[in-house]
């Protein structure tokens, strides 16, 4: 049950961004390459220094510690990174339901990270993030390397997660059809400036 | 000191040993190993530095002034700190580039030298330069190597694995948790030399200090005990120093919000290492 509100966030590549995602809702962000989509998500997750404030429900980010905030408002990078040899050691508290829904067998935990395709890594990164039970997800092109079937799986897992816990999602996507499928409100980012689509 | 068994070395004796280095340099030139010049420069440097040290110590032993001992110790620390910084491929920007290594060497080498002087050796006065300076030199030299290797490993791996660190931060790991595996590797790298030399001491290698003492006429058992003392002190000093350096430097790699601040590392073009 969480609501995310970004208030005049300014960082490297981001100019006074304002946006709001209601609890259980999903907003989409689109914009040309290099317009600052990744920088915006990183600034919201407090991975880069930024001015302005971000609110989770009624609590401003400044009342959280850095790690405490990122555990709640979780950023999923476009390219996932792993630090152990196999999937298993990363899989602390992973939910088998998520693995099933993302199209993996139980033996995925024994797989070698090096031998995963980028699409497999991307789907596993979602399982890894959901295991931390965040309140909000910041998704950076989460289906960029996926075929239609796996894109559908990821969209379904995220929709189910929103419905079950009331978490909110900010979803960066290049695909207009996907944005319409998954998101309510849409934002457009151009040269670091964010504006709602309906205001155009 | 049994001066009667001490075989004094004549310039000719040293010249003989030096000619071996010259021969090696000639061989290097012949085989185009490209190390001859550096070898000669290093041999020349060590000759000048050690003779100078001999002179300085001779004067120091006669005066035994605590201020002179402190001054020499400060110079030694300053040079060691510079050496640690110069050996890093990537170093912290600003004062911490010099400070992280120097502060941790100060903390470890000086405190352990003090401890050894006050509780184990107990010379009178406790700062007697015959004991204080060689002991500090031995500790500084070894902690310097350990700290340089540990810091170089820490900063290099932080840059190489920055995406892993940020992936962990994004999952809500604290700075300490996010850099834990890199810290561990850095400490291990710094401590391997001293662990290796303790492991093989007396079997494969006769440690330099013990060799020198035996050649200078000390009874082997006494030499062995002194060597043990030194090995333990060095192990403790290198360990403490490396831990301190890695803690200080890894602290500086993150800010108050536990963000990775890789812009605080700058490449240093003249350091040895991978290109």
Domain contains B167: yes
Domain holding A44, by residue range, is: 4-199
CATH number at residue A135: 3.40.50.300
Adjacent-strand bridge partners of A10: A51
Q: Which of B21, B45, B63 is the last residue of a domain?
A: B63
Domain holding B50, by residue range, is: 1-63
| Contact criterion met (CB < 8 Å) for A47 and B166 | yes
Same domain, B51 and B120: no
Chain B: residue whose CA lies nearest to A82: B164
Same domain, B84 and B202: yes
Same domain, B11 and B90: no
Chain B: residue whose CA lies nearest to A131: B171
| Contact criterion met (CB < 8 Å) for A74 and B173 | no
Residue A200, pLDDT score? 47
Same domain, B149 and B38: no
Domain contains B274: no
Same domain, B99 and B58: no
| pLDDT band per the 50, 70, 90 thresholds, residue A168 | very high
Domain contains B76: yes
Q: What is the pLDDT of residues B73-128, one digit of tens each?
A: 999 999 999 999 998 989 999 999 999 999 999 999 999 999 999 999 899 899 99
Q: Which of B38, B63, B88 is the last residue of a domain?
A: B63
Chain A: residue whose CA lies nearest to B259: A47
Question: What mean pLDDT is predicted for residues B184-194?
Answer: 93
| Contact criterion met (CB < 8 Å) for A128 and B171 | yes
Residue B270, pLDDT score? 54
Q: Which of A42, A67, A90 to mutate to test the interface with B (most CBs of B within 10 A)?
A: A67
Domain contains B273: no
Quick check: B3 pLDDT over 50?
no
Quick check: A162 pLDDT over 90?
yes
Q: What is the pLDDT of residues B225-271, one digit of tens each?
A: 988 888 899 999 999 999 999 999 999 999 999 999 999 998 765 55
Provide the ipTM: 0.94
Q: Is the Cα dihedral B59, B61, B64, B70 positive or negative?
A: positive
Same domain, B87 and B219: yes
For residues B234 and B201, give the distance between their C-alpha atoms in angstroms, rounded to a whole number.
13
Nearest to B257 among A66, A75, A128 (CB): A66
Looking at every residue in chain B, the average pLDDT score rounds to 89
| Contact criterion met (CB < 8 Å) for A46 and B161 | no
Q: What is the pLDDT of residues A8-23, one digit of tens each?
A: 999 998 999 999 999 9
Q: What is the pLDDT of residues A83-110, one digit of tens each?
A: 999 999 999 999 989 999 999 998 999 9
Total structural domains within chain B: 2
Total structural domains within chain A: 1
Residue B203, pLDDT score? 78
Domain contains B184: yes
Among B246, B88, B241, CA closest to B152: B88
A-B interface: how many C-beta pairs under 8 angstroms? 59
Domain contains B275: no
Same domain, B82 and B201: yes
Domain contains B272: no
């Amino acid at each position: 049950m969480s609501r995310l509100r970004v208030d005049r966030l300014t960082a490297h590549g981001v100019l006074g961004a304002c946006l709001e995602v209601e609890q259980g809702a999903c907003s989409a962000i689109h914009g040309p390459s290099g317009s600052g989509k990744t920088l915006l998500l990183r600034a919201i997750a407090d991975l880069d220094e930024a001015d302005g404030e971000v609110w989770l429900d009624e609590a401003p980010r400044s009342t959280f510690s850095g790690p405490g905030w990122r555990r709640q408002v979780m950023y999923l990078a476009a390219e996932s990174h792993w630090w152990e040899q196999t999937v298993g050691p990363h899989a602390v508290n992973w939910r088998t339901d998520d693995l099933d829904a993302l199209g993996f067998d139980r033996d995925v935990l024994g797989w070698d990270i090096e031998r995963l395709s980028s699409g497999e890594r991307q789907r596993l990164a979602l399982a890894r993030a959901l295991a931390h039970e965040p309140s909000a997800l910041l998704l950076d092109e989460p289906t960029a390397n996926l075929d239609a079937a796996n894109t559908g799986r990821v969209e379904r897992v995220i929709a189910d997660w929103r419905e079950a816990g009331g978490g909110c999602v900010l979803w960066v996507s290049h695909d207009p059809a996907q944005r319409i499928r998954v998101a309510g409100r849409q934002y457009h980012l151009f040269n670091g400036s964010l504006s709602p689509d309906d205001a155009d | 000191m049994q001066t009667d068994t001490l075989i004094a070395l004549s310039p000719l004796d040293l010249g003989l040993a030096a000619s071996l280095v010259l021969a090696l340099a000639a061989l290097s030139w012949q085989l185009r190993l490209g190390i001859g010049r550096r070898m000669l420069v290093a041999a020349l440097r060590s000759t000048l530095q050690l003779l100078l040290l001999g002179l300085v110590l001779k004067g120091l032993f006669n005066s035994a002034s605590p201020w002179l001992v402190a001054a020499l110790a400060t110079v030694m620390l300053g040079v060691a700190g510079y050496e640690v910084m110069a050996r890093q491929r990537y170093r912290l920007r600003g004062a911490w580039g010099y400070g992280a290594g120097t502060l941790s060497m100060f903390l470890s080498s000086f405190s352990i030298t003090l401890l050894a002087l006050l509780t184990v050796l107990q010379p009178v006065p406790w700062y007697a330069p015959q004991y204080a300076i060689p002991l500090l030199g031995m500790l500084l030299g070894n902690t310097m190597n350990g700290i340089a290797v540990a810091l170089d490993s820490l900063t290099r791996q932080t840059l190489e694995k920055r995406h892993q660190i940020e992936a962990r931060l994004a999952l809500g790991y604290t700075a300490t948790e996010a850099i834990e595996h890199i810290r561990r590797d850095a400490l291990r790298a710094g401590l391997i030399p001293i662990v290796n030399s303790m492991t093989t001491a007396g079997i494969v290698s006769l440690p330099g200090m013990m060799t020198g003492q035996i050649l200078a006429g000390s009874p082997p058992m006494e030499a062995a005990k002194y060597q043990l003392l030194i090995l333990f002190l060095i192990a403790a000093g290198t360990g403490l120093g490396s831990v301190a350096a890695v803690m200080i430097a890894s602290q500086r790699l993150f800010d108050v919000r536990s963000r990775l601040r890789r812009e605080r590392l700058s490449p240093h073009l003249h350091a040895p290492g991978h290109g």
